[in-house]
Amino acid sequence: MLNIRLEGKLPIYEQLFNGISRLISSGGMKPDERLPAVREVAKQFGINPNTVQKAYAQLEQSGLIYSIPAKGSYVSGAEDAARAVRDEAVRRAERELRSAFSAGVSLAEINSLAESIWSEGRNGDSI
């Protein structure tokens, strides 16, 4: 189930990308499962079809889905999808770390935060 906030700070296409990525990585969508049509998603959330297409294009570029012309978009294989989710997480972490560095956040602060988050995850707490 996707949850989109039209008034949220995060752009809608990123919310779609993140939501579908989570569904795929958690097993909520299986390999070769067809994604809803662009127009169907746009109608469901009351958004522009181009916004949905942009999210689908990013999902395809990230290796999470593949498209068959005139047939639709489908979830990539399990190993491909898991690798793509991991690779995208690493790319995002790198961008955020570079941003934190530019903002003057110290390595000690970053390490402390990372250790705290890691500990929460290992203890079964939600991250």
Domain boundaries, the chain: 12-79
Total residues belonging to the chain: 127
| 84 vs 10, more confident | 10
Q: Name the average pLDDT for the chain.
A: 87
Q: What percent of the chain has pLDDT over 90?
A: 55
CATH tag, 12-79: 1.10.10.10
For residues 112 and 92, give the distance between their C-alpha atoms in angstroms, rounded to a whole number: 19
pLDDT of residue 123: 53
Structure tokens at 16: 């779609």
Instruction: Give the per-residue SS3 of 38-74.
Output: HHHHHHHHCCCHHHHHHHHHHHHHCCCEEEECCCEEE
pLDDT exceeds 50 at position 124: no
Is 90 exceeded by the pLDDT of residue 13? yes
- Whole-structure pTM value: 0.67
85-121 pLDDT, tens digit each: 778 888 889 999 999 999 999 999 999 999 988 887 6
The pLDDT value recorded for residue 126 is 37
Task: Give the phi and the psi of residue 67 in degrees, each rounded to 5.
Answer: -120, 145
